[in-house]
Amino acid sequence: MNFQAGMFLGLIILVILIIFLKFALRIVRQGEVGIVEKFGKYHRTVEPGLNLIVPIIQSLKTVVVKELTMDVPPQNVITKDNVTISIDTVVFYKITDPTKAVYAINDLRRSIQYMAQTTVRNIVGKMELEEILASRDTINSQLRESLDIATDPWGCKVNNVEIKDIVPPRDVKEAMEKLITADRTKRSQILLAEGEKESAIRIAEGQRESKILQADAEKESNIKRAEGTRQSRILEATGEAEAIERIAAAKARDIELQYAALKNANLDDNMVAVKSLETLERASQGAANKVFIPFDTAKTLSSLGSIKEVFKG
């Protein structure tokens, strides 16, 4: 009987021990930290891994310290130029101080969401629609800075804020689409006109260059033609001069030969003079009007008066 009671008591103690260990041993996952409370008051912070707490007396809350994302629901915002638009944003944040995140704010995630919506209305409400559509990066930067400052007391750091979508009213959207279409048509016409202008300029330049090249070629041709004519005339004149000189030289040589023949024939001086005059007369009737008279013939001509006397006699 005592043995059975001991077994029963041991079994009860084992069950109690198992239950105690189940509630006493707590695992904190990687990317999280544990906040241990003792009688509802902050006691300590535990790191990821296996941790031991005292059940009933102590409790454990886990806080995610990885970077988190939060999709802020779309909200309507009135712009500076009285256009109601819908803006959808997403916030990237990270808890840097788990203790503040748990005890400084009741609901951190909902508080960040409300703060993001309020900040969007404050920033976007001071801008016109066209400026909003063209300045997303500027708006994102301003939202991040404002939210980071506002959430710092809560142990939270806002790393980035992105505007996912900006939806203007339907009529405004249609007007913007028409404006964009008109602008594209205008740009297309401008580009077409500039292309035609450039083409006309290039054609005109081509024609001008062609005329210049044609004029240069014609000028060069005229210069070469004139140079050829001049060279031809020079060669022709040179040839004529050489021909005249050669004819004159030949005739002078003929006179010399005839004079030598007469002299070798032992003719008297009068006959030699007469023959010389006849030869000179024939020579002067040729194409060359210049006659080269040898020195001996010139001395014979000096006795021309005597020759005439002989013929008269």
From the first residue on, what is the mean pLDDT of each consecutive set of 10 residues in the chain (313 residues)? 71 83 86 91 91 87 92 89 89 93 90 92 88 87 92 93 86 71 80 86 86 85 83 82 80 72 60 58 53 50 47 44
- What's the confidence (pLDDT) of residue 259? 66
Question: Would you say 156 and 150 are in contact if contact means Cβ atoms under 8 Å apart?
Answer: no
- What's the confidence (pLDDT) of residue 91? 94
Nearest residue to 273 via CA among 240, 311, 307: 307
Tokens at residue 132, please? 């909003």
- What's the confidence (pLDDT) of residue 280? 56
- What's the confidence (pLDDT) of residue 3? 66
Question: Would you say 275 and 265 are in contact if contact means Cβ atoms under 8 Å apart?
Answer: no
Query: CB-based contacts of 88: which residues, under 8 Å, 6+ apart?
Result: 71, 72, 73, 74, 163, 164, 165, 166, 167
Amino acid at 247: I
- Report angle CA 27, 28, 30 to the nearest 5 degrees: 130
Exposure pattern of 208-240 as b/e (b: 16+ CB <10 Å)? eeeeeeeeeeeeeeeeeeeeeeeeeeeeeeeee
- What's the confidence (pLDDT) of residue 119? 92
- What's the confidence (pLDDT) of residue 310? 42
Tally the C-alpha atoms within 13 A of residue 150's C-alpha that lie toward its C-beta.
Answer: 17
What is the number of H-type helices and E-type strands within the chain? 9, 8
